[in-house]
Structure 1
């Protein structure tokens, strides 16, 4: 742990300001402020329309802190947004946020400072609380696990705590505009930071949940609904924008030779990984997702860390000359398990109207056909690559 004077100097050198959003936390606000002021006088407090004695408490610190006051409560997310904007406008590089409800210990500030002092690139730090502590409410522990899962799903980054409000934000690396205003803002900002390439990581901190002092403004139904809606949007963006974007960015960064070696020949890829990639491509090429095949294929390949180019190449099995044949085969297979009473099928007459009149039959058949062909192509390619690799080893 850094000594107090060293921490003070590092806070100034690194350009760190402490931002404290507060709403009706009169029992704990003074204790938090006094603890923070031991380390720095660079403090911004956002009074989110408090109706208790918060204004009177802040008035006693008038010459020591910067206060932003809302006439009406706007939500924690909006308080943080304004606080971060204020910090950036004042020329700070990092904003260290801490809740005013007393659950965080200002004594953990040196941990953030030490981590930021050693950082070689912009990093967003989130204090990781011991959620198994007896004082932690079960609903908070569950909510944190729920949030951790979705953050991993949307970014591929595993964290132990994504809901802690004790954080360090790199002000010049995070997004400039945000869309959420309540508790869900703290999810939006870390997901979008990860999407921008900012390192998001946890550091261990202490936590205290005192039921007699702590006032929580989290509304289980409304705020959980907001968070669920946000995660739905973020998952959609992950699959249809972020992962395909990352794939094409990686393509641009490599020379054509390196790209072919890594993604097509895949020297480091095992035969199993290549076979799975080919199977995925074949499945998506036949499955009834016309118009979305490329986006979904690349997204799934990136998400499951498969060979993206192999998957993309084999998803084009449904190129123009083969489309009527694939539709016809799908309808025939579908007819075995889901027969239709519509008119008889002929390959030369395949059209959109044919699919419409045999829609259920086509969907069922295409999924079965896609699965069978994916398994067949994957298995055959695996045997071929396994044999080819063994022969290369024998030759050497």
Structure 2
């Protein structure tokens, strides 16, 4: 197992040397420290660490952020360590214990996956700001990004070599970069798993350079920006706009036909014309904007309208069936229609994604 340990640090104290020493004792022979623009009064820790065999120090003359520090180390790794299996990122404040670092590396090798070292935030001794921040972010990840990650703030991540280039393409220069890395697991189809590690906070995490307000805003901005560009969100917007267009067209054609035909024929014509026109709009938006299909228009058009007809028939049959079985009155039938169509909405999304526009 040939792993490079990456430790980005800004203005470190003696804890950085403790990290290096413990890693060496566990058999890690390649440690890459990144001095992210530390001032002169904090250079001693890097100078002392560089005396150990197998320790390299990369220097940013000015502070560029944790994201850029990690990218600098990734670039160095790809160029200088061509025969290594991967890297593991570790914080320089001694919160990640060497035995946990080793455990994550072993899991990476055996599972060929990116490994997240996750802490237990249910404990009573976790600093309040860390517990609240992680639980909130974890919940948002699960709700909006469909990523179930226990510890979204962990800096202990073992990354196989094959995924390092993907990580270099991830946007972000500061703390938001680590959030973008997690989002990239989904967008780049990178397999990952979690490994439980010790939960260590030193002096209530006072040595952290994380700004609770400024950096949190950047992180949540990244998360919501990701959600608003997801296929599911665009599909929902497209469906809502199609519904609005359908209703507008229905009213327009109802007005046009009001003096020409009987009420029943007017409603039927307005409904059919509006539904056909709004469905064609929905088809074009889904094909070009939502799913960005590369398949021929003829193929997707036929499949879309097969599904379109099928969804309408299912809606009618299911509502009619439940109304008959449950003996629903007019108001409950309307509620049943909403529930059935909502279920069909999600079914239609998956069918369009996996069959119509695949």
* TM-score > 0.5, shorter chain as reference: yes
Determine the structure 2 residue equivalent to 1:49. 37
Are 1:287 and 2:243 counterparts?
Answer: yes
CA-CA distance at 1:159 after TM superposition = 1.7
Pairing partner for 2:6 from 6, 10, 19: 19
Are 1:134 and 2:124 counterparts?
Answer: yes
Per-residue CA distance 1:10-69 (angstroms, 9 max, x = gap): 3x2xxx110000112213111111111122121100011112644212222325211001
Are 1:226 and 2:218 counterparts?
Answer: yes
Secondary structure, in 3 states, of the residue corresponding to 1:216?
coil
Pairing partner for 1:36 from 9, 15, 23: 23
**How far apart are the structure 2 equivalents of 1:282 and 1:189?**
28
**Which ranges in structure 1 are unaligned for 5 or more consecutive residues?**
1-9, 245-279, 291-322, 333-343, 350-365, 367-374, 387-396
Does the C-alpha gap of structure 1 residues 282 and 66 become closer, same or farther in structure 2, counting only changes over 3 Å?
A: closer
CA-CA distance at 1:176 after TM superposition = 3.5
Does the C-alpha gap of structure 1 residues 76 and 283 become closer, same or farther in structure 2, counting only changes over 3 Å?
A: closer
**Which ranges in structure 2 are unaligned for 5 or more consecutive residues?**
260-277, 279-310, 323-358
Pairing partner for 2:114 from 103, 118, 124: 124
Determine the structure 2 residue equivalent to 1:380. 316
Aligned Cα root-mean-square deviation (Å): 3.4
Determine the structure 2 residue equivalent to 1:156. 146
Q: What TM-score, normalized to structure 2?
A: 0.65
CA-CA distance at 1:285 after TM superposition = 7.8
Does the C-alpha gap of structure 1 residues 61 and 139 become closer, same or farther in structure 2, counting only changes over 3 Å?
A: closer
Secondary structure, in 3 states, of the residue corresponding to 2:219?
helix
**How far apart are the structure 1 equivalents of 2:4 and 2:144?**
29
CA-CA distance at 1:212 after TM superposition = 7.2
Pairing partner for 1:98 from 83, 86, 90: 90
Alignment of 1:131-210 (within 5 A): 131-153=121-143, 155-173=145-163, 174-210=166-202
**How far apart are the structure 1 equivalents of 2:204 and 2:243?**
57
- 4+ residue runs over 4 A deviation: 280-286, 375-379, 383-386
Pairing partner for 1:86 from 72, 76, 81: 76
Does the C-alpha gap of structure 1 residues 135 and 384 become closer, same or farther in structure 2, counting only changes over 3 Å?
A: same
Matched residue count: 266
Determine the structure 2 residue equivalent to 1:276. none
Determine the structure 2 residue equivalent to 1:115. 107
Secondary structure, in 3 states, of the residue corresponding to 2:207?
coil
Does the C-alpha gap of structure 1 residues 180 and 80 become closer, same or farther in structure 2, counting only changes over 3 Å?
A: same
